[in-house]
Structure 1
Amino acid sequence: MSKAYWGLKSLTFWLVGVVTLLMLYLGVRGFVQPIGAIRDYGLPLHDTADNNLVYIKANRDLFIGIFLLALMILRMRKALLVAMFTSILMPAIDAILVISHAADTTPSWIHIASAVYGVVIGCMLYREEQRAST
């Protein structure tokens, strides 16, 4: 296996796959069960008329999942590296929103853990990319 190979035999491929599946799940769930999805996000709705806000988040999550899946299928490790590092801001901002606006801030830890997971995967992808280019 060459240093440049990235795919099914790579740990980072599967770690990115976990994020991809999670984002696809969150996106679909947001459309199918908007009230439960936003409650688990950490900011429960006070009025079901606000479901459109949940659909916006579900759309974001679904798009990210599809985008990551496309990059995985195309074996674009460098693009996934950039995507991982730039997308770390999303769960970080989500955590800040939950901490500052929710009565129960417990779900903020999911967002914080997601940001940390993104940093770890990004660093691992960066290290692999550096090794592949030498």
Structure 2
Amino acid sequence: MKNSAKNFAFWTSILTGALLLFIGGRFFAIPEPATTAYGIHVPTNGDFSFQYIKGIRDIFTGAILLVLLFAKEFRALGIALLVGCMIPMVDFSIVLTHPGSETARLYPHLSAVLISLPLGIYYLRTARVKKV
């Protein structure tokens, strides 16, 4: 059981990090469709500042998760996942309160919270504390 939980956490973490890299990259490559997929649509008039901010935030988050995972810094990964939960929580509330938002656009943000919380707890509970 322990080994299967470890494998599940490992592969879910890889998938989460890679998906965040993809989502972040999409905000740079195709900013308007990425914004709509996020759950809001605002006129940009050709200024994609918000999209680039959102994109680099997701790229950084995905990269830090993968770096911590492959460096086997599981305690730090658990902390990053738990603290990082504030991002999809706030994203959820932004989409929820945005006029004309679609309920379906809330699910990715909620899913991120439901993935990050248990993963973060798992890594914190199973990580060995290094003695100095």
Q: Shorter-chain TM-score: which interval?
A: 0.7 to 0.9
Deviations 1:4-47 (A, max 9, x none): xx9xx732111111110111001111100101111000011323
Does residue 64 (structure 1) correspond to residue 47 (structure 2)? The answer is no
Q: 2:110 aligns with which of 97, 107, 112?
A: 112
Q: Scaled by the length of structure 1, what TM-score is found? A: 0.84
Determine what percentage of the aligned residue pairs are the same residue.
28
The letter of the residue matching 2:58 is D
Instruction: Find out whether 1:88 has 2:88 as its counterpart.
Output: no
Partner of 1:127: 125
Residue 42 of structure 2 corresponds to 45
Task: Report the count of equivalent residues.
Answer: 125
Equivalent position to 1:19, from 3, 16, 20 = 16
Question: Mind listing any 5+ residue stretches in structure 1 that lack a counterpart?
Answer: none
The alignment partner of 1:29 has SS state of helix
Cα separation, 1, equivalents of 2:89 and 2:111: 9
Contact 1:42 1:102 in 2 (8 A): no
1:119 maps to amino acid: L
Residue equivalent to 1:36: 33
**Aligned-pair CA distance for 1:49:** 2.5
SS at match of 1:46: coil
